[in-house]
Amino acid sequence: MIRFPSRLALCLMAGLIGQAAYAAGAAPTATVNGTAIPAARAEVMFNEQRAQGAPDSQQLRDAVREELIRREVLAQEATKKGLDKKSEVQAQMDLARQAVLLRAYIQDFVKANPISEADLKKEYDSVKSKMGSKEYKPRHVLVETEDEAKAIIAKLKAGEKFDVLAKQSKDPGSKDNGGDLGWSNPGMFVKPFSEAMVKLEKGKFSETPVKSDFGYHVIQLDDVRDLKAPDFAEVKPQLEQRLQQQKIEKHIADLRAKANVK
């Protein structure tokens, strides 16, 4: 089953490109009630379907043509009813057209400003150095007050089980799992938590409450192991995506700072 995009932005982009192609003499895909559907519009939709995994075939091209005909029929009926003159419809069309231009601009910026291999390796080394050489498997109980944390520590010293006491934790993600936080490197936790965690011996718990912005923690270290960082090739796509996004955000911020806004 062929699934077609319903995004108005795609249609507008196809229309803008298609008008130029048609003006240059390209044969229309079809003519509906005297209105030509530009061939470039069909090509945009066809390429969109290919990008989503549809195989190149005459069946796909026929289906794209039929979809565009249906859309043109509906668009003509909407125009007859004057819907294109309604202010809210015009505003939506303006926003959609703007979104297409923004996407085209960002794509052009990315193409003109690729992330170098040197930048990727530098980012990889930076991330790798922050990971450290050890990976920890802690569990915790998070409570509101220091007195609550001290009471939990006293119960642990008296022999009560950590996973049972964890049920009163404020952390919904771990309270039903005995407070288990899984394998993580210290950089994934807030500083007070990570500093206390790395000082613990395997199987021990913190004997004084650990204060963070979230409340008071009682931490137990279940295990520790050597950390092997992923290979550069393995994380390269994610690093490239992150650096590219940072570059885009900086470019947008620079443009915004230069803009004359009143």
pLDDT digits (tens, 9 = 90+) for 87-122: 999 999 999 999 999 999 999 999 999 999 999 999
Closest alpha carbon to 194 in 132, 262, 119: 132
Mean pLDDT, all residues of the chain: 90
Q: How confident is residue 9, by pLDDT bands cut at 50, 70 and 90?
A: very low
* Helix (H/G/I), strand (E/B), else coil: 219: strand
Interatomic CA distance for residues 64 and 42, integer angstroms: 6
Interatomic CA distance for residues 74 and 1, integer angstroms: 22
Please state the rounded mean pLDDT for residues 216-223.
Answer: 98
- What is the DSSP pairing of strand 30-32 with strand 134-143? unpaired
Q: What is the DSSP string of 30-66?
A: EEETTEEE-HHHHHHHHHHHHHTTPPP-HHHHHHHHH
User: Any bridge partners for residue 134, and if so which?
Assistant: 226
pLDDT digits (tens, 9 = 90+) for 125-161: 998 887 778 999 999 999 999 999 999 999 999 999 9
**Cα torsion angle, 99, 102, 108, 109, sign:** negative
**Residue 26's pLDDT is what?**
64
**Residue 132's pLDDT is what?**
78
Please state the rounded mean pLDDT for residues 3-29.
Answer: 48
CA separation (Å) from 155 to 37, 158, 166, 215, 234? Answer: 76, 5, 12, 19, 45
**Residue 16's pLDDT is what?**
40
**Residue 260's pLDDT is what?**
96
∠ at Cα 44 (40, 48), nearest 5°? Answer: 165
Please state the rounded mean pLDDT for residues 211-226.
Answer: 96
Neighbours of 102 (CB within 10 A): 12
Please state the rounded mean pLDDT for residues 14-42.
Answer: 71
Question: For 167, which DSSP code?
Answer: G
